[in-house]
Amino acid sequence: MHSDHTGYFSETESRNQSTRLVDDLTLLQAEQAVSHRESVDLQRSHSRARSHEPVKEDVFNQPAQTPTIATATATEPPSRFNKALVRIKKLPRMVRYFMYCIPVTIILLIPILLGIFLPKDRQSVIGGPGGEELLWFGIWLEVIWLSLWAARIATTVLPYLVAFVARCLGSPSSKKWLQVGRQLELHTALFLWMLAVLICHYPLLNSHKVPARVPQEADTEYPDINWINVTHKVITAFFVLAVLNWVEKILIQWIAESFHLRTYSTRIVNNKQSIAYLVHLYEHSKDRLVSESSVMNAEGVNSGTKTPLGMLSDNARDTIAKVGDMANRVAGDFTGREFRSRNHPKKVVSELLRNTNSAQVLARRLFRTFAKPGADILTPQDLEPAFPTAEDAETAFSLFDRDLNGDVSMDELEAYCDEVHREKKAIAASIKDLDSVITKLDRVFFLVCFVIAVIVFIEIISASTASSLASAGTAILGLSWLFQATAQEFLQSIIFVFVKHPFDVGDRVTIYGNTGTTLQGDDYYVTEISLLYTEFKKMEGHIVQAPNSVLNTLFILNHRRSSTLADVYVLRMKYDTPTSVIKELEARMTEYVTEHKRDFTNKILTEMRLIEDAYCMQLNLICFHKTSYQNELLRLIRHNKFATELVTQMVALGIEQPRRQFQISGQDWPVYQSNVQPPSYEERQPKVDPSILTATRRRANSHAQDTSGDVFQDVFVSRKASNPSFHHPPVINEESAEASGAIGSTSQLEKYPSNGSGGRSSRRIPFSLNRTSTLRRSADRSDRDRDMV
């Protein structure tokens, strides 16, 4: 639909005109937020570049943490020590390591200097006769301390080494392996440190002992020194712990990466591709709309006189921004790195994709840019100016055209941008929960490694302690039934989360089994996935927590992972409904879904489910939604649209319900009642006392009601004579059927007024109800029989 010369706009054009101002303001706000964030990052770029922590790209927009009461109310200024620590953390990595290492190194030089400059006869032997020299004891302490920092410095190249090996082996993503290397950096350093300490222990201590005097001080010149053996056992136990910890961290990283690759890699790649196309189109829209007169480009004058200082400040700010962008571009050409200018389109698009409203603003901006004037849809040809080839434009258009009908409306583009924003949030929440689960699993595995290291230490220290430990282990095994349920739940939860993993955060699922209000299953949205439990949100908003060990045994339907779904409508109609009418209904509904091809596929199925005793037919009419039921609001809108049209067409075709309606009387079935009068009616309804309606509860209970008579009339019990709204029917003497003319007399029946007419209606009853009954002739008929209607 196009706008005409009369000034009337289509619905899409009206939305463009009404939302243009708000959209421009939202875009301006997003660009200002990006500019402010870039200026803050520029101030911290020097310290961040020298930090060993990686610069994490805000791919999925982690939500900011809400400050707690303690942090919000903390007003105490930082101490000098805290300020010094903050300054040290801003220093380069190697400088910080040397600053941490030098003070303790100087302290440990004291025994070495004493061993060098102090005469031998005045030096004390470490460990008694035949013990260690003071010089070599100090050297051993220095080796322990310096080997720690040497291992820490040596492992700084581990991330790059892992990434290089992965690249040589053909891995497409070296950044991922770079992150894996950073995660293993500290634990590898601890392993190398304990290995170095274990290797140099005996060579440094046993090879430099002071000979003892025989037999005054000892039986031999070099007796066994107890503390050397004990320290060796302790170092061995710590080495076992370091090895187990290193292997456990490698295993955890393997589990995390394999699980991430299997579960989220495809979703992340698709989401990044969608964002890349949006960024490209937005960048082209900025170049295309730069000459348009909008809020963002209009050079309005502020109210009042603009001071020269303010004008100078604005010009200086713009000049500095342009110079900064040019300097970044020159530095990028020189170093080969990519430097992004202020208000970079990718950052602006990421800012707009933080919520639904701003995502729809982005969609309207793109639609306004590429749609032809007066057009309500986008075509692949409209996107060709933004891409170098027509194939690229067709690829981008296929992402927006989810219903594959060859065009994209504004609503469809808004839904797509909102879906990209929701997918980003869902992936971010899923990865966050995955990190939480991995952390908890890491703690459990580390606890197991620590217990093993303690057992090894006890075994090394004393044989008697080892025997008592064996007896204690037997007792613990005897009580294993206490831990059976916990261990089983833990293992089932691990299998459910890491192996099966039937859903992610944000998915809509249907859980079958003894769940829900009726214990027959229910629909939920996944809000949090933990190691032992999962939190769901019902459609009504309730939060439900379920153990993963129980979910491991249930059937789970994931709506997000489903595609086109069928919507079944059960129809019950008359038994004698013609087949031609059913086919006509199917044809009309097929025409309807063809017209609404954005919501439904052009296919309607009918299924005759049941024929019940020549009474009714049960027919299933099935339509197919173009998307899954992940979006409940969209499903409801489509379901209601189709159901409304279905009811309209059924009424138009005259399809009736199976409950047949019979006339009470007719010419072919003349039936009447004898000696039973209908209830008499007054000409108007009795008036109700207004005080009863307006009285308060106290007044209504006290004097507003008349308790002498019945306010409500019960037609199934005897009426009270005191009820003013009821009049007894007149007593009619019984006659024989012949005398009354009941047989075949229709002319007399036509004289009776219709029920409820009060005797004033001229409408005649066309058919009569003929019922022959034998009445008892009794003069003393009770009042109850006369009162029954």
Q: Which two tokens stand for residue 361?
A: 């603003």
**Beta-bridge partners for 556:** 511
pLDDT given for residue 143 in this prediction: 93
How do strand 556-558 and strand 533-538 relate by DSSP bridges? Answer: unpaired
Please determine, for residue 250, whether its predicted confidence score (pLDDT) is greater than 80: yes
Read off the pLDDT of residues 591-610 as tens digits, 9 standing for 90 and up: 999 988 888 988 899 999 98
pLDDT given for residue 9 in this prediction: 58
| C-alpha–C-alpha distance, residues 516 and 548, integer Å | 16
Please determine, for residue 474, whether its predicted confidence score (pLDDT) is greater than 60: yes
431 or 762, greater pLDDT: 431
| Domain(s) of CATH 3.30.70.100: residues in the chain | 565-653
Stretch 492-519: mean pLDDT, rounded? 86
pLDDT category of residue 665 using cuts at 50, 70 and 90? low
User: Do 115 and 133 touch, CB atoms closer than 8 A?
Assistant: yes
Read off the pLDDT of residues 613-645 as tens digits, 9 standing for 90 and up: 888 899 999 999 988 888 888 899 999 999 999
Read off the pLDDT of residues 525-554 as tens digits, 9 standing for 90 and up: 999 898 899 999 998 889 999 999 999 999
| C-alpha–C-alpha distance, residues 331 and 40, integer Å | 20
Read off the pLDDT of residues 156-186 as tens digits, 9 standing for 90 and up: 999 999 888 888 887 777 788 888 889 899 9
Stretch 67-85: mean pLDDT, rounded? 61
Please determine, for residue 147, whether its predicted confidence score (pLDDT) is greater than 90: yes
DSSP letter assigned to residue 155: G
User: Do 257 and 180 touch, CB atoms closer than 8 A?
Assistant: yes
pLDDT given for residue 681 in this prediction: 57
Read off the pLDDT of residues 338-376 as tens digits, 9 standing for 90 and up: 445 555 788 888 888 888 888 888 888 888 888 888 788
Average the pLDDT over each of 71-85, 234-248, 358-372 and give the range with the smallest value. Answer: 71-85
Helix axes 226-263, 174-205, angle to 10 degrees: 170
| C-alpha–C-alpha distance, residues 109 and 143, integer Å | 11
Please determine, for residue 742, whether its predicted confidence score (pLDDT) is greater than 70: no
Average the pLDDT over each of 40-49, 421-430, 572-581 and give the range with the smallest value. Answer: 40-49
Stretch 446-471: mean pLDDT, rounded? 80
pLDDT given for residue 663 in this prediction: 59
User: Where are the alpha helices (H) located in 169-264, listed in sequence order?
Assistant: 174-205, 226-263
- Give the phi and the psi of residue 624 in degrees, each rounded to 5: -125, 125
Please determine, for residue 217, whether its predicted confidence score (pLDDT) is greater than 50: yes
pLDDT given for residue 756 in this prediction: 38
Please determine, for residue 778, whether its predicted confidence score (pLDDT) is greater than 70: no
| C-alpha–C-alpha distance, residues 171 and 90, integer Å | 34
pLDDT category of residue 768 using cuts at 50, 70 and 90? very low
Peptide linkage before 63 cis (omega within 30 of 0) = no
pLDDT category of residue 423 using cuts at 50, 70 and 90? confident
pLDDT given for residue 402 in this prediction: 76
pLDDT given for residue 131 in this prediction: 77
Please determine, for residue 708, whether its predicted confidence score (pLDDT) is greater than 80: no
**How many CB atoms are located within 10 Å of the residue 195 CB?**
15
DSSP structure string for 743-789: SS--TTGGGSPPTTSTT---PPPSS-B----PPP--SS--HHHHH--
pLDDT category of residue 17 using cuts at 50, 70 and 90? low
pLDDT given for residue 519 in this prediction: 75
Please determine, for residue 64, whether its predicted confidence score (pLDDT) is greater than 90: no
**Residues whose CB falls within 8 Å of the CB of residue 530, separated by 6 or more in sequence, listed in order:** 433, 436, 437, 440, 548
**Beta-bridge partners for 570:** 620
Stretch 696-700: mean pLDDT, rounded? 43
pTM: 0.60
CATH class of residue range 565-653 = alpha beta
CA dihedral of 319, 325, 329, 335, whole degrees rounded to 10: 110
pLDDT category of residue 672 using cuts at 50, 70 and 90? low
Stretch 64-89: mean pLDDT, rounded? 62
pLDDT given for residue 299 in this prediction: 44
Report the chain's mean pLDDT, rounded to a whole number.
Answer: 74
